[in-house]
Structure 1
C-alpha cells in the first residue's frame, strides 16, 4: 500500500480463525475505504494466518507475535504499527456495521478538542435477546467515571464503553497504551486514563454501529471472574474514580465477579470497601444484594426481560454480514 490510510484498524486474535476473518471482512467492508486493517496474531497460529491469507485484500497487514502476550499487548503492538491518523480497535469476535468508520470520522473531524475519543452505541447480542447499549449518553458536566459505572437501575448498560466501539488519534493510543496483564475492564481502564490527557473528550455516535456477540457457550475473557485482581486494580486506580463511581464499581462489577464464591464474609468486605472509600447510593446496595441473591442465569434472563421492554422502540440493525 502506497497511500497513507486515514484510519488504522487493530484486531488482536488468537486461535479463532473464523471469527478473525469475520471481523476483518466487517472492517474491510466499511463505506470509508481509505483504511488499513492490522491483525495482530497473539503467538504462532497457522490456522489463523492461513485463513487471513485467503482474504486477499492489500489493505490487510498481519503481524504474528513470537509468543502469546494477551490482548492488551497485541493491541499496543497494532497501535505502534498504525499508519493512519486515527486508530480504531476491533475485537476478533465482534463486527462493525458498514458506516461505522465514516460516522466516527465525521464526529472526530467536527470535534472541538484536539484528541477526541469517539465511541458509539452497539447492539449487544446474546443467545436470548438483542439490546442497544449504552442506554443513555453522557450528560454535560457528568464525571466520566460516574457515567461509565454508576447504574440508574439494577442492570449494567446505562453508561458503557466497549473496545470495539472506540476510535481515537493514533498518537493518543501511543501515549496511553493498554495496561498489559489486566484481564478485565481493559477498555474502562484505558478510557479513564486517556481522558485525563489534555485536549481529550469522549464523544458518542448516537446510533449503534457495532455488533457485540456475547456468545455464552464460548470461552471469553469477559466471562472470567478474577475478583481479587480487579480489587487490586481498583484500589491502585482510585484516583480515576469519584467516590460515587468507586462505590458503584465495587458493588456491581466486583460484586458480580465475587458472588460465585458464595462467601458471606466477602459480601461484607465489599460493602465495607465501598463505604470506606466511596459513596454508595441506594441502587448500589440493591444491586449488590440482588447479585448475591440470584443465580447468574436468572439475573441474565431478568435483565433481558426488563431491558428488552425499554429497547422495543429502538431499532437494532441487521447483522453486518
Structure 2
C-alpha cells in the first residue's frame, strides 16, 4: 500500500463484532487494493475490539470513540481520520462484491464534475424476496430529489441510494458532514445537500456491487422515531426538493409512518403540506390512499408478488452468490426506495 491510500473505507459499528468483521474482510478483499479500512467503534466495546484485533492486515485502522454518538457522528469521525483522497462508506451489516470499489472508481474518472458522488445498484435480500435495486438509473437532466423520491409504480420506487453504495471525494464528505442526531433518511439528507454544491454530480454505476442483507424480524431502534420528527426534518430541507419530489416524499415516506395513527387530522396536515408546497402526481394520490386504507401485511404481499413477477423477466431475478447474514429493517416498499430506506420501513 502507498503511504497515502487511494480510498478510505469508513465503517461505523457498535456491539456487532461478527458482522463488522465480515464487512471488514469484504472491504480488504477488494480488487482495488490500495485502500485503508477505518472502523469507528461508536463507544467502548470490548467484544468488537477483540474481534477486529484478530484481523491481520496493516490496512485496517480501528478508532474507538469515548462515548456513543450515533452512526452519523461515527461516520463523520471516520471521514475526519481518513487519509485517502476518496472515501467509501460501508455499514457493518452490509457486504461488498470484490469489484465494488474498482468499478465505482472507474465510473468516477469518467465524470467531468469535480465532485462526483458515485452510487451503485445493490442486491436487496430479505427472508421473503430478493431483487436488485435501484430499478433504473437517473435519466439525463433528472433532478436528484426526483430520482430518489418520485414513484413510477404503486408498490415500489425506482430510484435509490444507501450508505454502503456511496463513494465520493473525501473533501466532499468533510464539507458536507452527516447530520448528527438524524435517525432516518441520513443518506437522502446527505446526498441532497452534497449534490447541491457547485461542481457536484450524482451518478449510479449500473452493476449491483453491494449486498444488503435484511432480517425483517429483528427490530431497529431507529424505527421507533415518530412520524412528526420526519415531517419536521423534511420541511427544514424543503428547498433541496423540487415541488414534485417534495409532494412524493410526503405522500409516501412520511405518510407510511403516519398512517398507523388513523388520524383524520394527521391525514389532513400531510395533504395540506403536499399541496401547499409540492406538486403531487396521480401516483402520489394513489400511494397516499393505499397507505391509509390497505393493511401493511397485504401491501407487503402485493409488493413481493409484483417484484417477483417483474424480476422473473429481468434484472431483479439475478442471484445473490454467497450472500448470508442479517439485516434489521422491516419491508414495506409501499414507500419509495430512497436514501435512508433502511430506516423508513414501518
TM-score normalised by length of structure 2 = 0.90
Aligned to 2:245: 245
Shift of the alpha carbon at 1:269?
1.5
Other-structure match for 1:111: 111
Please give the per-residue CA displacement for 1:219-278, whole angstroms capped at 9, x wherever unaligned.
Answer: 335634431111111111110001111100000000111112222321222111111111
Deviation at 1:102, TM superposition (A): 0.6
State the distance in 2 between where 1:29 and 1:206 align. Answer: 21
Structure 1 segment 225-304 matched on structure 2, within 5 A: 225-304=225-304
Q: For residues 74-121 of structure 1, what are the alpha-carbon distances to aligned partners after superposition, in whole Å with 9 as ceiling and x for unaligned? A: 000000001111100111111111110010011112211111000000
**Residue aligned with 1:316, SS:** coil
Q: Quick check: 2:7–2:86 contact (8 Å CA) kept in 1? A: yes
Query: Partner residue of 1:24?
Result: 24
State the Cα distance separating 1:7 from its structure 2 match. Answer: 0.5
Secondary structure of the 1:255 match is helix
Report the 3-state secondary structure (helix = DSSP H, G, I; strand = E; otherwise coil) of the residue aligned with 1:275. helix
Aligned residues: 321
Alignment map for 1:66-81 (pairs within 5 Å): 66-81=66-81
Q: Deviations over 1:149-183 (max 9, x none)?
A: 00011133301111100100000000000011100
CA distance in 1, matches of 2:115, 2:55: 33
User: Which digits, 9 at most, give the CA deviation of each residue in 1:41-61, with x for residues without a partner?
Assistant: 111111111111111211111
1:131 corresponding residue in structure 2: 131
CA distance in 1, matches of 2:91, 2:305: 27
Tell me which residue corresponds to 1:316.
319
Q: What corresponds to 2:334 in structure 1? A: none
Farther off after superposition, 58-67 or 295-304:
295-304
Counterparts of 2:103 and 2:6, CA distance in 1: 13
**In the alignment, what sits opposite 1:11?**
11
Q: Which runs of 5 or more residues in structure 1 are unaligned?
A: none
**Alpha-carbon distance change, 211 to 221 in structure 1, aligned in 2, over 3 angstroms:** farther
> Which stretches of structure 1, 4 residues or more, deviate above 6 A after TM superposition?
none
Residue range with higher mean Cα deviation, 79-88 or 217-226: 217-226
After superposition, the CA RMSD in angstroms is 1.4
- Contact between 2:161 and 2:187, CA under 8 Å: does it hold in 1? yes
Are residues 1:50 and 2:53 paired? Answer: no
Contact 2:117 2:168 in 1 (8 A): yes
Q: Is the 8 A contact 1:31 1:98 kept in 2?
A: yes
Equivalent-residue separation in structure 2 for 1:192 and 1:305 (angstroms) = 32
Cα displacement (A) at 1:15: 0.9
The farther-off stretch of 160-169 and 292-301 is 292-301
- Cα distance between partner residues in 1 of 2:239 and 2:76: 24
| Structure 1 contact 12–39 (Cα < 8 Å) conserved | yes
Alpha carbons 1:134, 1:159 under 8 Å: kept: yes
Cα distance, 1:131 vs structure 2: 1.2
Matched, 1:99 2:102: no
Aligned to 1:33: 33
> Is the 1:184–1:221 Cα contact (8 Å) retained in structure 2?
no
For the Cα contact (< 8 Å) 1:256–1:291, is it kept in 2?
Answer: yes
Instruction: For structure 2, list consecutive stretches of 5 or more residues without a partner in the other structure.
Output: 325-346
